[in-house]
Chains A and B, each alone.
Chain A
Amino acid sequence: MHKYIIRRILVFIPMLIMLSIIVFALATAAPGDPFTGKILDPTVDPEVFNEQREALGLNDPIPVQYLRWATAMAKGDFGESMYYKGRDVASLISERIVNTVYLGVFALVLTLIVAIPIGIYSAKNPYSPLDYGATTFGFFGLAVPNFFFGLIAIYVFAIKLGWFPAQGTISNIHVTGFAEFLDRIHHMVLPGITLGLAGTATYMRYMRSEVLDVLGSDYIRTAKAKGMSDRSVMYKHTLRNAMIPIITLMGFEFGALLSGAIITEQVFSYPGLGTLFINSITNRDYPVIMSITLLLGVAILIGNLLADIFYSIVDPRIRYD
């Protein structure tokens, strides 16, 4: 088991290197550099730019540039922002990432609390009115784009009804402790639902079909023939098996939530990684773009790794050798 996990982590390393090469290549292949926009400024001697390029190493061969960048990244030195002068990327990211993680966790918890019970109910009562309702909601959740749902939510619940704030993370900077927590949650409701919508739809459908599948299996019939109660049949024998594929799915959800957050945060002007990312793209702030991209990649890899590890814990049939 431990060996299995260690081996999975070792596989992780070459994947990470591949990922960093791709990120670097994409950034290098993009036309222009931070000086491109200013090159036509007639008051500045083009030679000055060249000197600066030389100083920053932008004229070095690409592999050399990659190695320099990768070593720095590995050391945790994400470089300096080219747009927010004098700010290092690490501090820019770290002040935003917390908000994104909060939002992601909020959306994930919401997804699970809603999707799993409804999925179970639908499987227990297939073709019931609630099952049909859930199916309809599922199609809706998958079909409606994030940003569109977000805009509608703002219009209805923030502007018309005024129940929830339309943007930001906090409105009263003077409160602390539990009151601050509640204020943050209040701000997270609309973006959280928006972000979790697609996942909720997906999990609900998965849960329904998994539970239905397991309920029809031979070992469930055995459990019933042993005289196990309905509770035990559902919550012990069925759920434990039905959750195995769901857990795998959750690993991927990790990455899906982070990338979903990019759009959702933009819609709600929520100051997280997503808004930082979009702004950096507009500003051609390459060090920030590259760091966030790499971070998203790492998050997805970690998500998959966690899924694998959970999977090996819940399914004894997984072989570790």
Chain B
Amino acid sequence: MIQQDVLQVDNLKTYFHLEEGRTAKAVDDISFKISPGETVALVGESGSGKSISALSIMQLINKPGRIEGGKITLNGEEITNYNAKQMTKIRGNDIAMIFQEPMTALNPVFTIGNQITEIIRKHKKMNKQEAHQHAVDLLKLVGLSRAEEMMKEYPHQLSGGMRQRVMIAMAISCDPKLLIADEPTTALDVTIQAQILDLMKEMKERFEMALLLITHDVGVVSQYADRVMVMYGGQIVEESTVDVLLESPKHPYTQGLLASLPMVDKDVARLGTIKGTVPPAYDFPAGCRFSTRCPHVMEQCLSHNPSLSDIESEHKVRCHLYPSEVEE
């Protein structure tokens, strides 16, 4: 029997309807799957649509944003048309999420204990004492040895790294099958980053969760992910296993991202960045969205956006340079 995917996203589109009739296509037709226990990285520069993709899965898009279309299937059940009440049973319970800014992600006026037991009591049938005990155990599990005291403390009394550990404890508290981590270490000290990522990896293995790891740091991808999706301009432009992607990146954008990665064993001269900036989501160029920055841009790139197609098994690329493409 084929194992059921934890998450399947089909043709998801999330647009922001801005003033003057402009539309920001923040997420424009993305599809992917995550299998149980798998770690999938979603990489791309800031503004490429990673966070909006994650928030769309959670159905946490605020106005003027709106999910325009697509299908989201969780553990075989389609949740696309779930109402607000049904979603509250999914969030925190089946899918948990960790955010980029640990300093602002916790409510400043409630204690750590209050904020963890709240989610436990929402999703699990536990009384106050049981929830308290569960919270303390979780805090210890994520490496906070002062757990019992910390239950009575407020977020401002903890460091960024400690708060992110609290967020992790909260996220794993109801045994979700999928954890979405949106740049969980970007705001942290370099020394703390590896600790937090290692902790997430450990928890993921222990609780057999799948992990969608959002990052703009290709270095993180190589160490923690099984599979990678590269996102640009609201679309996935390349997708493959980590090894293949690092070994032979095909999309000029992926090549640029890898080139900008400082590597100790490589020549410093390789260190470069992609020229130009991400075009705004309400003003993508016609044709390939990367054409304004691509060093290999061709005539057809300016008029036709390539489709995401297999160039070999488990390796998809969205670029006119590769033969197996089917033009849109």
Contact = CB atoms under 8 A, between A and B. Distances in A.
Interface of A: 216-219, 221-230, 232, 237, 240-241, 244, 314-317
Given A218-B104, A226-B118, A226-B170, A314 B91 contact: no
B107 interface: yes
15 contacts: A218-B101, A221-B105, A222-B105, A225-B60, A225-B96, A226-B118, A227-B93, A227-B119, A227-B122, A228-B119, A229-B85, A229-B88, A240-B109, A315-B109, A317-B156
Interface in B19-54: none
B60 A224 contact: yes
B166 to A, nearest CB: 11
Nearest to A315: B109
A221 to B, nearest CB: 6
What secondary structure prevails in chain A residues at the interface with B? helix
Contacts of B16: none
Contacts of A217: 104
B101 A221 contact: no
Contacts of B58: 224-225
Interface residues of B, number: 31
Contact of B154 (A218, A227, A228, A317): A317
B119 to A, nearest CB: 4
A317 B107 CA distance: 11
Contact of A317 (B104, B108, B119, B170): B108
A227 B92 contact: yes
A227 B107 contact: no
Interface in B43-72: 58, 60, 62
A93 to B, nearest CB: 40
A15 to B, nearest CB: 29
B168 interface: no
B271 to A, nearest CB: 33
Contacts of B118: 226, 228, 232
B97 A225 contact: yes
B90 A237 contact: no
A111 B88 CA distance: 35
Nearest to A126: B63
A214 to B, nearest CB: 10
Given A222-B99, A228-B92, A316-B109, 16 more contacts: A217-B104, A219-B106, A225-B92, A225-B96, A225-B99, A226-B92, A226-B170, A227-B89, A227-B93, A232-B118, A237-B107, A240-B110, A241-B108, A314-B109, A316-B108, A317-B156
